Amino acid sequence: MRSTPLTRCPEPKGLVMPGLLRGMARTAVVAGTATAVSNRVSRRQSERWASQDEASYPQEQAPPPATPASNGPSRIDQLKELGELKAQGVLNDAEFEAEKARILG
């Protein structure tokens, strides 16, 4: 503890800058704090609204299975799709041959 009381040193009359800097620093701290609080409130509100939106919309249901028109896609269409899957690397040679045999009967 100090034994002597704090005294303020008189500022020279021509020197106004320390008071100005002190005021600017105080304003910057207040503005920064207000910005941080505002951002946090906005983020919390948007999260709350998003969760309310999710709760208010019903979950998407799976579409009903497509009813095949006559026998479904033709063999040619199935073979074309199978060839595309093999070309894309989705199917290897053994899988391709097995599916082709299944389609052709």
Whether 91 contacts 82, CB under 8 Å: yes
Domain that holds residue 22: 15-57
At position 62, the amino acid (one-letter code) is A
pLDDT per position as a tens digit, 49-100: 888 877 676 666 666 665 555 556 788 898 898 899 889 988 899 999 998 9
- Whether residue 51 lies inside any domain: the answer is yes
* Total of domains in the chain: 2
Let me know whether 53 and 81 are in one domain: no
pLDDT band at 14 (very low <50, low <70, confident <90, very high): low
pLDDT at 48 > cutoff 60: yes
